[in-house]
């Protein structure tokens, strides 16, 4: 039987070859009462990267993350987290923010942070000290001695986020970290994630908001129907779709029209079509020779959303659209 780390990965093997992997998973399967929630997931998350797990609600993102963290065991497949087959063996080097946030309502903010740290092996006294420091650093100094039940939902979320990071983990896993945050705090969180990666921390987060992944991630895994049809660099995902050419000409008709690809469609003053496989130069030459009178020509690279649609299919994309992020409270 092949072990993790011995054989080639099916997806982003190139990236894996460059950097050591923080997370490696192969063929993870999880069934609940006969229902397959995750049906064979392969992942390779390079150390120090920001990695997004994309998919609509119910796609299997949370179940996948839970298996990677050892919260639940897979029915089939292998996983390796920070070089260990049992995630709990490296729990002290991992931080996890679950989708459904939870803190003890009667605990004071700094105590809550210290407790989350103590679960990861940080001595309580040190956790208290760091908890107070972190709250001060993030503008929550006034809430140090307040009980969680006295904080707003957003503030409690920030406290839990700080508790996730208090023990300075090497790997941070966020499950839908942006849900429930207002635009300002979403921006802060994005900045924090970039800051973590800059310090060498591996960040993996799940989201159904593609824009966050597009802005932040080096690599993504697209999960749909419990499987991973794509895992790799964001650019590679985009490159799955040929760039779109947007052409505006002076001449409405002429011999240049023969140079347009078969999929070209006319929208108002513009012609839209996929960039031909032969590239832009032969096309340009044909347009000029055919006296098209080019007014403008742009090549637009596909976005991650388009890539998602192409990879996961229309149904998954529609589901993603339906799972709009929560309105900021």
Partner 1 sequence: MSNPTGGRLSTLAAAYVVARRDFVAILFSRSFIFFLLGPLFPLLVGGLAGGIGAKVQQNVEPAKLGIAMTEFDILSMTRARHVLAGKLDGQVPELVEVRRLKPGDAFDPALAMRDTKANLGAIVSGTPQAPVLTGPVDRVERWKGEVELIAAEAAGMGPKITPVVTMGKLTGSTADTKRSRVVTAQMGQVVLFLLTMLLAGMVLSNLVEEKGNKIIEVLAAAIPMDAVFLGKLFAMLAVSWVGLTVWGVMIGSVFASAGQGLGSMPAPAVGWPVFFGLAVIYFSLAYLLLGSLFLAIGSMATTVREVQTLSMPVSMLQLLNFFFASWAMSKPGSGAEIAGAVIPFSSPFTMIARAAQDAALWPHLLGIAWQVLCVAILVRLGARLFRKWVMKSGPAGTRKRRWFSRKSKNAAPVAA
Residues that bind partner 1 (CB under 8 A): 32, 35, 37, 39, 57-58, 66, 69-72, 88-94, 96, 98, 100-107, 115-123, 126, 160, 167-170, 199-201, 224-227, 229, 312-313, 315-316
DSSP string, 84-152: BSSGGGGGGGEEEE-SS----TTSBHHHHHHHHHHHTT--HHHHHHHHHHHHHHTT-GGGTTSBGGGS-
DSSP structural state of residue 277: T
Closer residue to partner 1, CB minimum distance, 200 or 268: 200
CB of 73 to partner 1, least distance (A): 9
CB 287, CB 20: distance < 8 Å: no
CB of 112 to partner 1, least distance (A): 10
CB of 144 to partner 1, least distance (A): 18
Instruction: Give alpha helix (H) positions in the chain.
Output: 13-18, 61-69, 109-119, 124-137, 153-165, 183-198, 210-216, 234-238, 280-289, 304-312, 314-322
CB 24, CB 80: distance < 8 Å: yes
DSSP H/E element including 169: none
Closer residue to partner 1, CB minimum distance, 31 or 188: 31
CB of 233 to partner 1, least distance (A): 20
Distance (Å, rounded) from C-alpha 62 to C-alpha 74? 13
Bridge partner list, 266: 271
CB of 163 to partner 1, least distance (A): 8
CB of 71 to partner 1, least distance (A): 4
Closer residue to partner 1, CB minimum distance, 120 or 283: 120
Closer residue to partner 1, CB minimum distance, 175 or 306: 175
């Amino acid at each position: 039987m092949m072990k993790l780390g011995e054989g080639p990965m099916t997806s982003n093997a190139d990236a894996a070859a460059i950097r050591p992997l923080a997370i490696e998973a192969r063929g993870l399967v999880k069934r609940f009462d006969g229902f397959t929630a995750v049906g064979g997931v392969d992942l390779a998350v390079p150390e120090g990267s920001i990695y997004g797990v994309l998919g609509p609600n119910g796609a299997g993102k949370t179940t996948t993350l839970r298996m990677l963290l050892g919260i639940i065991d897979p029915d089939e497949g292998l996983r390796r987290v920070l070089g260990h087959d049992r995630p709990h063996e490296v729990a002290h080097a991992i931080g996890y923010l679950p989708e459904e946030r939870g803190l003890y309502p009667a605990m004071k903010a700094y105590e809550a942070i210290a407790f989350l740290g103590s679960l990861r092996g940080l001595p309580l006294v040190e956790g208290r000290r760091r908890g107070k420091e972190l709250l001060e650093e993030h503008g929550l100094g006034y809430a140090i001695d307040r009980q969680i039940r006295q904080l707003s939902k957003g503030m409690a979320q920030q406290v839990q986020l700080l508790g996730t990071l208090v023990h300075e983990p090497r790997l941070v896993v966020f499950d839908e970290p942006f849900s429930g945050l207002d635009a300002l705090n979403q921006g802060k969180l994005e900045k924090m994630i970039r800051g973590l990666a800059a310090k060498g921390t591996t960040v993996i987060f799940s989201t159904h908001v593609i824009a966050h992944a597009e802005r932040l991630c080096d690599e993504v895994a697209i999960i749909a129907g419990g499987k991973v049809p794509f895992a790799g660099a964001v650019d590679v995902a985009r490159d799955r779709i040929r760039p779109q050419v947007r052409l505006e000409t002076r001449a409405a008709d002429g011999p240049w029209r023969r140079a347009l690809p078969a999929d070209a469609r006319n929208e108002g003053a513009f012609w839209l079509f996929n960039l031909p496989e032969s590239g832009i130069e032969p096309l340009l030459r044909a347009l000029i020779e055919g006296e098209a009178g080019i007014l403008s020509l742009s090549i637009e690279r596909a976005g991650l959303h388009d890539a998602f649609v192409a990879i996961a299919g229309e149904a998954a994309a529609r589901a993603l659209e339906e799972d709009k992020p929560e309105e900021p409270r």
